[in-house]
Amino acid sequence: MAWARAGLLALLVLTALLLQLTALPLLGLPGAVPDVLTVTVLAVGWVGGPVRGAAVGFAAGLALDLVPPADGVLGLSAVMLVVVGYFAGLLGAAEDRPALVTVTLVGLLAGSVVVGTAVVGTIVSDPRTSWDRVAGLTLSQTAYAVVLAAFVVPLVGALWRRVDPPAPRYEVGRA
């Protein structure tokens, strides 16, 4: 099952990365380009736990930093996706959470990536960091992430249960 999980995670990250870099910029949506990769990392963290969320966040962020047109600070996306993947895993541990709360939390975590990237970019003197655009990008990124999360989180959850089925629960019979 470990190979199936690893294959699924690689397929999810690759698909999200290709969508984000090729198809979504062509839509011409206002504000930020919808960040499918971040939402995918958040969904993996949500269903797989904090360690898997952080590991997938690191791999996805490093891939995003290395794939052309890579023009920023190497590792900046990886750091941000590790942090939000870990927090998504912590927040996803609660079992009976309404779907609206899940989607909202994923959207807020995705929006926090914009602010975190701007903060870390300012610290390391990234020339692409512009605080003039942070508020608008955060708002649009959060809105797009909420919409994407409504589709991505259930899809990743269904695929995850397919390759990593939960252990059966045995209930003690009442006498």
Per-residue pLDDT of the chain (175 residues; tens, 9 = 90+): 688 889 999 999 999 999 999 998 898 888 888 999 999 999 999 999 999 999 999 999 999 999 987 777 888 899 999 999 999 999 987 777 888 999 999 999 999 999 999 999 899 888 788 889 899 999 999 999 999 999 999 999 999 988 877 767 666 666 5
User: CATH second-level architecture of 2-23+30-163?
Assistant: Orthogonal Bundle (1.10)
Domain spans in the chain, listed from the N-terminal domain onward: 2-23+30-163
- pTM for the full model? 0.89
Going by C-alpha positions, the residue among 96, 92, 64, 67 that lies closest to residue 77 is 64
